[in-house]
Amino acid sequence: MSNTFKKLQAQLRGSVGKAIADYAMIADGDHVMVCLSGGKDSYTLLDILLSLQRSAPVSFEITAVNLDQKQPGFPVHVLPKYLEDLGVRYRIIEQNTYAVVKRVIPEGKTMCGLCSRLRRGALYRFAAENGMTKIALGHHRDDIVETLFLNMFFGGKLKAMPPKLLSEDRRHIVIRPLCYVPERMIARYATARAFPIIPCTLCGSQTNMQRIVVKNMLRRWEQEFPGRIEAIFSSIRNISGSQLADPKLFDFAGLEGRRELSPMTEADEDALAEELEMGRA
């Protein structure tokens, strides 16, 4: 094992460990269902969680779960062999979501929305039936930033993917332990570990996806202004509701009352002067 790989693995462990601590993702006694697709992200997620499990201050179980969507040519032997060689407890769920998506979605249209809903439903059902307390997904920092722009550009909403999520039916906690990790680091790690990557013949075959457009936009920005993606992600974690325009998020109507109750302090005046000087007020 090279020093370069050891350093990379240590960086990943540190980032994932920090995310787990920051968002209280895993507690003592949890049974974590790691959703394994066969892509670099979910392989890395499982690998790092197994590594952390051995030294974590809390005790938790891991079960790797793959949803076999019956995509043509899917190498069904790859994941079971990999997981058996690794000695990891796993389950394979079989559901022909591929046929449903191909039947419902017209040729040339993006399949991700329906595919994601069907996949999520199958995984949620399995988690509920098997006592899984947390559902771990392999979304990384770049996925979160891409989702932010997709929602802004095509949904008119300022939202992304939270590191920790309560499902709509309030029955499941979804966690994203890779939320601090840039995609390039995962790609390097996956190559170094020689994971048996399985390409997706649904998502991976669509060249017209808006996510690809946004990904390419962010890649160009990062090349021209290194560190921009990290800065955008940092902004998602540092939100000033009073500086946006959502009346549900901030009580704009009550500002007059707040002025009477809370006169501006010297520190407030200094902060306002600094904002004015920087052109942010």
Q: The whole model's pTM is what?
A: 0.84
Give ranges for CATH 3.40.50.620 in the chain: 3-235
The confidence band for 107, taking pLDDT boundaries of 50, 70 and 90, is: low
Main-chain phi, psi angles of 237, to 5 degrees:
-95, -5
User: In this predicted structure, which of 84-93, 101-110, 114-123, 187-196 has the lowest mean pLDDT?
Assistant: 101-110
User: In this predicted structure, which of 7-21, 80-94, 188-202, 265-279 has the lowest mean pLDDT?
Assistant: 265-279
251-271: pLDDT as tens digits? 999 888 776 655 566 666 666
Range 49-63 average pLDDT:
95
Written as six digits, the tokens of 11 are: 């960086």
The confidence band for 76, taking pLDDT boundaries of 50, 70 and 90, is: confident
Give CA separation, 166 vs 134, 171, 224, in Å: 10, 7, 37
Distance CA 26, CA 127 (A): 16
The DSSP secondary structure of 222-242, one letter per residue, reads HHHSTTHHHHHHHHHTS--GG
pLDDT at 216 over 90: yes
Say whether 64 sits in a helix, a strand or coil.
strand
221-252: pLDDT as tens digits? 999 999 999 999 999 999 999 999 999 999 99
Q: Which fold has domain 3-235?
A: Rossmann fold (3.40.50)
Strand spans (E) along 12-138: 31-35, 61-68, 90-94, 134-136
User: In this predicted structure, which of 34-48, 57-71, 113-127, 151-165 has the lowest mean pLDDT?
Assistant: 113-127
Rounded to the nearest integer, the mean pLDDT of the chain is: 87
Range 134-141 average pLDDT:
97
Distance CA 177, CA 23 (A): 9
